[in-house]
Amino acid sequence: MKVSLFVTCLIDIFQTDVGMDTVELLERLGCEVDFPERQTCCGQPAYNSGYVVKAKESMKHMISVFENSEYVITPSGSCGTMFKEYPHLFKGDPEWEKRAQDLADKTFELTQFIVDVLGVEDVGAKLDGKATYHTSCHMTRLLGVKEAPMKLLSHVEGLEMKTLPHNHDCCGFGGTFSVKMTPISEQMVDEKVQHVEETEADILIGADCGCLMNIGGRIDRKGKPVKVMHIASVLNSR
């Protein structure tokens, strides 16, 4: 099965190891992975800030970049959700609506693709530790991916999963929200860190690098002994 990796800005700039783990994991599961080098931002930051016209320039570019891909896989529920929004934003546009829909239909978040398309729940991962999982907002509320991550994590050998209290609460990142509403965002992430501590887990797992960067940064500033890991890295552990 041929798949194209949509790596996202945060992974490309800050967390390249997550991109590499994603590729290694998909290849181990029998996929042939390519990386379209012309890919850029999906347009989400501009769109969420109200710059719809400017955002559409990025969207059109991304539609063109992945036009010939069979599947588009991303280790980010948030950015995957943005691709799913494209058809709505180009509705009524005779040139771009169908092309946007084609991209949306073949785009999958990583765990969603592994479980729902490949039909795999045990990827043969091994990781010793006690962990808890943060359910990011876009991935669960908008993309609707809730069960796939937990099914995969339940089969990781040596990993004890603990339920995160109030796990559906936002971590306070929200893209530009954390910049525009910093005092509120700070209180939200402090609550999230408190709940992580309540689990007594030594690993925090998530599927969106924005959330992990936000929570991980706060954990680091507070000096808490909790390791932050993207689920791709957990599933690629051997």
Phi, psi (5° rounding) for residue 167? Answer: -65, -20
One domain, residues 88 and 75? yes
Whose CA is closest to 104, among 66, 140, 136? 66
Q: What is the 3-state secondary structure (H, E, C) of 6-64?
A: CCCHHHHHCCHHHHHHHHHHHHHCCCEEECCCCCCCCCHHHHHCCCHHHHHHHHHHHHH
Determine the average pLDDT of the residues in 204-215: 96
Determine the average pLDDT of the residues in 135-148: 96
Helix (H, G, I), strand (E, B) or coil at 74: strand
> Do the beta carbons of residue 188 and residue 155 sit within 8 Å?
no
Among candidate residues 95, 116, 137, the one where a domain is terminated: 116
One domain, residues 146 and 187? yes
One domain, residues 11 and 62? yes
One domain, residues 90 and 76? yes
Kindly indicate the confidence band of residue 179, based on its pLDDT and cuts at 50, 70 and 90: confident
CATH number of domain containing 215? 3.40.50
One domain, residues 147 and 213? yes
Whose tokens are 């706060």? That residue is 218
Expressed in angstroms, the distance from the first to the final Cα of the chain is 23
Q: How many domains does the chain have?
A: 2
Distance of CA 18 to the CA centre of its chain: 10
Kindly indicate the confidence band of residue 180, based on its pLDDT and cuts at 50, 70 and 90: confident
171-to-15, 174, 175, 186 alpha-carbon distances in Å: 19, 8, 11, 9
Domain ranges, residue 163: 121-235
One domain, residues 8 and 96? yes
One domain, residues 87 and 134? no
Kindly indicate the confidence band of residue 33, based on its pLDDT and cuts at 50, 70 and 90: very high
